[in-house]
Amino acid sequence: MRFTPTELAGVAIVDIEPAVDDRGAFARLHCPEEFQAAGWPFTPVQTSLSRNPRPFTLRGMHYEPPPHEEAKLVRVTRGRIFDVALDLRAGSPSFGRWAGVELSADNARAFLIAPGVAHGFLTLEPDTDVIYQIDKIFTPGHGQGVRWNDPAFGIRWPASPVLISERDATYPDFKAQG
């Protein structure tokens, strides 16, 4: 695996290094020892699926506040998304900045997102499936979010969403939350 850091501490793009032969390809997607050795410790305890039938569905920007924050490894197994990490960690040198990457079934990339960093994505194709590997068991009732188009962050989405939940569309401006 190859780890490419983003400008956000603890957020990296993870590329596989498949072994290819006449049968196709085989690649390791996660190995705690390999992540640790590369300086990106991550051990998932929960795996979740987000199934998205429609293109331009937006989910996010979600995060779990302390003590429920969680790291996640996000990967697309069918379709394509624009995936975004937004640093909301108080005191972080990259606070308020974001990083985005296209993930697809074809490129087999993953996005490793540190605890305290908000996450969201926009589907770019119909029938897109997104797998989350998470380092904590989800605790209901603690999730928070910021609006996907809050001008405080200036996230440059590749398209406008066609489908978004009322909750995600109506989060208040971030400055109003503080």
Taking phi over 0 as left and psi of -120 to 50 as alpha, with beta for the rest, 14 belongs to beta
Catalytic annotation, pick one of 63, 119, 132, 171: 132
Token couple for 172: 């208040």
Distances from the Cα of 1 to the Cα of 16, 37, 93, 111, angstroms: 5, 11, 27, 12
Q: Is the Cα torsion angle 119, 64, 45, 130 positive or negative in sign?
A: negative
Identify whether 62 is a catalytic site residue: yes
In DSSP terms, 130 is beta-bridged to: 50, 76
Q: Which residue, among 72, 28, 80, has the nearest Cα to 52 in the 3D structure?
A: 80
Is 132 marked active-site?
yes
The pair of structure tokens assigned to 102 is 């296209």
Separation between Cα atoms, residue 170 and residue 164, nearest integer Å? 10
Nearest Cα to Cα of residue 112 among 148, 75, 146, 137: 75
Among 62, 68, 142, 171, which one carries the catalytic annotation? 62
User: Which residues are known catalytic residues?
Assistant: 62, 132
